[in-house]
Each structure stands twice: as C-alpha cells, then as structure tokens.
Structure 1
Amino acid sequence: MSPSLDEVRAMDAADPLRACRERFFLPEGVIYLDGNSLGVLPMATMGRQREVVESEWGEELIRSWNSRGWIEAPQRVGAKIAPLIGAKANEVIVADSTSVNLFKLIVAAAALAPDRPVLLSEAGNFHTDLHIASGAAELARLRLDIAPRGEIEARLGADTNLLLLTHVHFKAGFRFDMAEMTARARAVGARVIWDLSHSAGAVPLDLNGSGAELAVGCGYKYLNGGPGAPSFLYVAESLQERLMSPLRGWMGHAAPFAFTDDYRPAPGIARFLAGTPPILGLAALECGVEAFAGAPVDRLWAKSIRLFDLFAALVEAHCPALTCISPREPERRGSHISFAHPHAFEICQALIADGVIGDFRAPDVIRFGLTPLYLGFEDIWEAVQRMRSILDSGRWREPRFAVRGKVT
C-alpha cells in the first residue's frame, strides 16, 4: 500500500535536512526533479554575483585578482569540493569543463605507460566522454575499446593503459563499486579515470579510501554551480608530479607572471590549470558548494534512499505503465530514478507543462533527479499524482507534446 499525503507530510516534518530547502530559490508551483542535470539556484548566489560584478569587477577592477582572491579561486573552491568526494584539499582544482579536464587526464596519464596501447571504456557511457576519449586516444596513440558493462572486467589485461568509467550511469543510474573496479584495474597494471558528474554531491564518495587516482566532475548538477559551471579535476597527491597536462596554459605555469618562453609546470594540482579562471562561474560554484554546510553526504544519501523508495512505490501503485529501470539496491545506484515507456518523451513534456520538471533520455527513458538538499517527500507524492493524471487522461497524446526542441 502506497503512503498517504499525511504520511509523506510527516516524513517532511521529521526530515533533518528540511531547513536546507530555504537555501535555494524554488519557483512557486514547480516540482523540480532535474537537479541531476542542472541544479537549482542557491539564494546566496544572487547576492554573491551582484557583489562580484558591481564591487569586485566594477569598483576594484583588475585589482581584485590580488585584493579579492580571484587568483586563488580555482584552488579554494577545489578545496571546498574535496570533502564531498573524499579527497585532500590539495588534490582538487576547479577549471575548464568536464570534457576538457577529461581530455587532460587521458593524455597525461596515458604517457605513464607508453607500452600499453588500450583505453577501455563502457558502451552506452555518456556520449561526450566517449567522444573525448576517441580524440584523446588518437593523440595519445591508444586504441579505444568500448565494451558492454558485463564484459569490462574480462577486457582488462596487460595491454590496458587506462580504464575510463562513469561512476553513476547517466541514464538508468547504475553505480560501479569504485574500490573494487580500481583494485581490479590496478591488479593488471592499469589506471582508472572516474567521471563523477552524477555522483559528486549526491552519493557517498571516498576517492582516497577507494584508491582512486584520477577523476573529473561536473559543477552544475548536484553542486548547483549554475549552467555551464566550471568543472573540477582530481589527481591523487602521489601522482601529481608525474603528470604533465597536454594543455599547457599560462595559469598552469610555475611562474605565470614571469612571462618566460619556456614552460615549467606548476607544482602539484595547479599544473592542470590552463587559461584565465572564469571568476563569475567560480563565484557561483563556490556558493553552490557552500550550500552543503551542515549536510554531510551520509545524511544526504540516507534521504536519497527514502526519496527513491517512495517514488518507486508510488509509481508502482499509481502508474503501472511505467517500468523502473534503475537498480532497487541502494549500493548499486546513484541519486536519480528512471522509468521506461514507449512514449517517454511525450509524457515528460506533458509533465513539464504541468509543473513537474524531469528530463527525457533517448530512446524511451524519463529520468528524475533526487536532490536531498531541497527536495521534499511531498514533492514526490504530488509529482506522481500529476503523472497519474496525465497517464489516466491520455493528455500526453496532445500533438504539442511530440514537438522536440534541441534540448531534451
């Protein structure tokens, strides 16, 4: 029997994270279930952006690089992300996009084992990772081997240079055991690069404890850094001095303002910087990360489990036409829930028109992000009631819901 409205309201009342909801701007009448694609706006970001634009840029101008700490922002924000992913403060830096950072790590790490010719990754991985991997592999003279999830371990061998894995799969939400996969790769002499875009800020991560050496992650999903927010990059301290970034920009130089022709990499993680830091984006991301104050990841994950279980139970009871394709076991999944339906796109568009924002992933998946910092149990209950109405009435069949925009 599915929970009643009174029961889910009681769950909200007892939620220790309930007060965190006030840290975010949530539009009236909208149930936002797409924080795994674009996080919502932290309230602090609006004031901080105004301060950066009007005071730091407008009044201080170029002096702000020194007087307002602009030049240290990539390291400072990286250090604030580090506790969320189980890393040391000096192992994380914010720079560029996830795609660019992935390229840097593939090319840099591949050079450590020039006799190993294979870059191994998962079929159906997020497509930009595979696209970046294909280009990086060509430059690093690697052969890209794309294997189904069930065959990855069998493909690991003496010829494997790097294994590229997304920790939580973008579509159905399957999660790899990071410690286990890292150990399996290490056993054959390979290294793993982890994409944490659907993990950071949502599921428990312990990069140091798992033996992970290399990772990238997104700033605009669960970290709420805003559209196109800069990405973060992680390199284990023990490996940093052995790697050379293929994008040798001036900010990654040991003395960027010496203006010398020769390139000397900066010590530590700073060598993975390239161009001038995007200060507006960094300021917004810093606010997003600071919104996690007093909300430890284990508490977030405990709530995510309850949100998932509630969503799954309500859909099973009221929307049987939808098939859950996400793992039911918490240790095997991330913090979103996905359903398959032949007309997933149209149903998703009808939901959006009705104030319930999820997203569609081809060919037949509706995906809903479960963001414990600001999502409530009543939000889930109400979302499923609206979805039930759409399905029962057949409103999704209206022609307008079949029109596809550039972004789905």
Structure 2
Amino acid sequence: MSEPLPASERTDRAGLSALADPAEGDALAGRADLAARAARLDAADELGTLRERFALPEGIVYLDGNSLGALPVGVARRLAEVVTQEWGTSLIRSWSEGTWWTAPERIGDKLAPLIGAAAGQTVVGDSTSVNLFKALVGAARLAGPGRTRMLVDAATFPTDGYIAESAARLTGLTVTPVDPGEAAAAMGPDTAVVLLNHADYRTGRLHDLPGLTRAAHAAGAIAVWDLCHSAGALPVGLDAHAVDLAVGCTYKYLNGGPGAPAYLYVAERHQQAFDSPLPGWNGHADPFAMTPHYTPAAGATRGRVGTPDILSMLALESALDAWDGVSIEAVRAKSLALTDFFLECVAAYVPAGAVEPVTPADHAHRASQVSLRTDNAREVMAELISRGVVGDFRAPDVLRFGFTPLYVGFADAERAARTLGHIFG
C-alpha cells in the first residue's frame, strides 16, 4: 500500500485535475463562491450581531433550535438572582412583594407581539399538552351543541393527537384526521373544532393559517392552532387573522430553556365564555378566598391552573430580552434567505440523489427548517454531530435542520451543507 499524499500535494493535484476537467473546475469554483457569498451575506446581515446575545459553544453550527433554542446570555445571571435573592433571601415574600404572582400574565404580554396578539390574551404556564387540552375542551364548549366532529391535522405531533382523542371523548365529539391541505373542504355544519399545526414538525411545511381560520369560521367552527414550530421564526398574526385559540411552547425558537412553560392564547371575544376544563385555584377570580365553589377570573387569567413554575418562568422572561428591538418580519426575511442558501449549498456539495428535500421550495409553504430524506438518516445525523454540525433526526429517514435567525448565519449554513457533502462524498 502506498503512502498517503501530503495535504499540500493533494491540494495541488486536485487543482491540476480541475484544470484538466473543465466541469470539475467549474464545480470547485462554484463551491468556493458559496463560501465567499456566505461571508458577504453575513457581513450585510442586519441581524448578525444578535448572535452575541446567546452563549453558544465555539466551533459548533447549531441547527436544532426547532427542538431546543440556544441559551440567551442573561438567563444564567437572572436565575442566580432568583434563586439566591428572591427565593433564598426574600422567601415567600416574593409572591406578594416581588414579581412572582403576576408572571404568567406579564410574560404572556411580553411574548404576545411575537405571535401577533394584543395584551391581555396570552397567559404563560403549564406545558403545551396541558394548554392544548384546555383549548380543545374549551373550544368544544364554545362551539355549542349540535356539532359532532373535531378535525385534527393527520400529520400532527403525536401528543396533539393523543390530547385531541381525550378531549373528544370528554366532550362527545369524534376525531376526524385530515390533511391540512384538504381541511377546508372537510369542514361542515357538524364541525365543532379544527386543530391544526401552523408548521409541520417533520417536514417544515407551513400551513395556511389565515385561509384555514376563515374556512373554520365559515363552517361555524372554532379554530385552534399549535404554534410550536412557527412562533419566533415567522409572523403569526393571531389577532389579524381572528384566530380563536392557540397554544405553543417557548423552548424552541423563543429560547426559553428545556421544559420552559408554554402559553395559551384566548381571543378577547371568547374570554368571558371560555370554560377551562382545569379550573385550578390560580385561575379563580379570588384565589386566596379559598372558597369551595369555582368562579373564573376575568380575561385570559382563567387559563391559569396551579402554582406557576417560577424558576423556569422567570428564565423565560429573561430569555425574551433577546428579542429587544427585533422585528419578526426581519427574522422571517432572514429565515427564508438562510433556508434558500442552505438548499443551494446542499445541491452543490451533496452528490445527486443522496438526499431528497421534503420541505416545500416555495416560501409561502416553508417554515424555518429544512428536512432532507435519506437512507441511514440516524447514522448520518450522528456523524454530522460528531463533526460539529448539530441538527436532529426524525424516524424513519429525515434529517432536520432548524434555522434560528437570531443566532444562525450564512457561513453556518454553508458549513453544514459542506460537511454533509463530505459525509456522502
């Protein structure tokens, strides 16, 4: 077996080969241009300095913010303050003398602009699953008698389906799975509730929130939206599009941290009639009266249940500071530019046929991730991660890359695609 060539000689021979083969030379030049373009795009990026607001490890390309967002720099300091001073020194006085008791509504109002909601309609607390249960049962009660069906996104995240089945049993409805693209045609006078995901968690497909909400209302149904894979990545417009109820997590594009509390949006026009199936003492009109009978609080506050999870909630409040001065429209523009550029780099670096994009190419139907189908996807992702490019895998054959414009740049996209190409090369 011959000795391997020195790196310098390998480079020289590659260059000579490229000169001998014009097509290969063009390909190499095109790849070099991608890296140069990435540098120019990053230099011109109006959101580029926002990366400094996050504590990201050196040398890592982090493309899994659609599962867990990066750590904003102020969170650790704020949590230390909460633990050592507000809990450690002030003890129980922090409920009444500090900011703890009002946190669910206060943080809901802080988050509201990112989902296109006016103040007073969003309450933070519990998990997405718990909030979805409240929303679905509450929606069925708002829809009233005489309706028998709950339409549910057939490709929904599994927990949404589980919760929908339980909520349907409780309210006497029947769950009908439906492709979101065919949901409008499936709605009718028997439809009580329509539950859809704004963005498909597996493919990154963005669904038509305005149009499907209008269709639900035309059928007399209540529209419930799951925003887990869209909030913080693109404009949602809950108020503008007259959405009835919505839920979402805060640990993905909103960077609230692992297990961060979720949120429940109840449109102002529904608040007085919204009947939560979980009437906890925190949602009582007079929680410290400790009366045996439940009287719901006014507004979205009736969506509260038990004692707020203060440590994770105040971590979320600090994390949302990373959005100061940031336009969600600018975030969307960068998201589309990043995902376009990544797809271009994948086409240039990865051998033809090795991967198949399953995320829609058109901007109207693309959220902020790119999903690629390939054989041995689990092993490919493990190899990417070992090389410093962190995405994730979804069974059976999907590589997912989430692009969080607050801290992901064009050089990150180019490196990720180039590394993927090396794995298949």
**Into which bin does the TM-score normalised by the smaller protein fall?**
over 0.9
Matched, 1:346 2:376: no
Structural RMSD (CA): 1.0
For 1:285 and 1:91, the matched residues in 2 are separated by 18
Matched, 1:15 2:45: yes
What is the aligned partner in structure 2 of residue 25 from structure 1? 55
For 1:219 and 1:79, the matched residues in 2 are separated by 14
For 1:284 and 1:222, the matched residues in 2 are separated by 15
C-alpha contact 2:346 2:418 (8 A) present in aligned 1: no
For 1:110 and 1:122, the matched residues in 2 are separated by 16
For 2:406 and 2:42, the matched residues in 1 are separated by 12
State the 1:19 CA deviation. 1.2
State the 1:68 CA deviation. 1.8
User: Which stretch of the first structure deviates more once superposed, 4-13 or 129-138?
Assistant: 4-13
Which residue among 73, 76, 84 is the counterpart of 2:103? Answer: 73
What is the aligned partner in structure 2 of residue 137 from structure 1? 168
**What secondary structure does 2:155 align onto?**
coil
- Larger gyration radius, structure 1 or structure 2: 2
**What secondary structure does 2:272 align onto?**
helix
For 1:249 and 1:351, the matched residues in 2 are separated by 46
State the 1:318 CA deviation. 1.0
Look up the equivalent residue of 2:107 and give its one-letter code.
Answer: V
State the 1:109 CA deviation. 1.5
Cα deviations across residues 101-155 of structure 1 (Å, max 9, x unaligned)?
0000111110122211100012111111011101111111110011233432221
Matched, 1:101 2:131: yes
State the 1:317 CA deviation. 1.1
Number of aligned residues: 392
What is the aligned partner in structure 2 of residue 278 from structure 1? 309
Cα deviations across residues 336-388 of structure 1 (Å, max 9, x unaligned)?
11100021111011111111110111111100001000011111111112111
Look up the equivalent residue of 1:99 and give its one-letter code.
Answer: S
State the 1:179 CA deviation. 1.2
TM-score by length of 1: 0.94
Which residue among 320, 325, 336 is the counterpart of 1:294? Answer: 325
For 1:36 and 1:201, the matched residues in 2 are separated by 10
C-alpha contact 2:392 2:399 (8 A) present in aligned 1: yes
Cα deviations across residues 209-239 of structure 1 (Å, max 9, x unaligned)?
1111110011100000000100011010010
Aligned residue runs from structure 1 range 117-132, under 5 A: 117-132=148-163
Look up the equivalent residue of 1:51 and give its one-letter code.
Answer: E
For 1:150 and 1:98, the matched residues in 2 are separated by 24
Cα deviations across residues 314-337 of structure 1 (Å, max 9, x unaligned)?
001111311111111112111111
TM-score by length of 2: 0.91
For 1:167 and 1:154, the matched residues in 2 are separated by 18
Look up the equivalent residue of 2:323 and give its one-letter code.
Answer: F
For 2:378 and 2:98, the matched residues in 1 are separated by 46
> Moved runs in structure 1, 4+ residues, more than 6 A?
none
For 2:116 and 2:183, the matched residues in 1 are separated by 25
C-alpha contact 2:180 2:196 (8 A) present in aligned 1: no
For 1:184 and 1:221, the matched residues in 2 are separated by 29
**What secondary structure does 1:334 align onto?**
coil
What is the aligned partner in structure 1 of residue 228 from structure 2? 197
Which residue among 179, 183, 186 is the counterpart of 2:210? Answer: 179
Look up the equivalent residue of 1:104 and give its one-letter code.
Answer: K
Aligned residue runs from structure 1 range 3-402, under 5 A: 3-112=33-142, 113-319=144-350, 320=352, 321-392=354-425
State the 1:306 CA deviation. 0.8
User: Which stretch of the first structure deviates more once superposed, 283-292 or 126-135?
Assistant: 283-292
**What secondary structure does 2:88 align onto?**
helix
Look up the equivalent residue of 2:404 and give its one-letter code.
Answer: T
C-alpha contact 2:34 2:345 (8 A) present in aligned 1: no
**What secondary structure does 1:194 align onto?**
strand
**What secondary structure does 1:241 align onto?**
coil
Look up the equivalent residue of 1:125 and give its one-letter code.
Answer: T
- Which runs of 5 or more structure 1 residues have no equivalent in the other structure? 393-408
State the 1:4 CA deviation. 2.6
What is the aligned partner in structure 2 of residue 396 from structure 1? none
Look up the equivalent residue of 2:106 and give its one-letter code.
Answer: R
C-alpha contact 2:183 2:212 (8 A) present in aligned 1: no
Look up the equivalent residue of 2:193 and give its one-letter code.
Answer: L
User: Which stretch of the first structure deviates more once superposed, 306-315 or 379-388?
Assistant: 379-388
Look up the equivalent residue of 1:45 and give its one-letter code.
Answer: V
For 1:157 and 1:6, the matched residues in 2 are separated by 54
State the 1:389 CA deviation. 1.2
- Which runs of 5 or more structure 2 residues have no equivalent in the other structure? 1-29
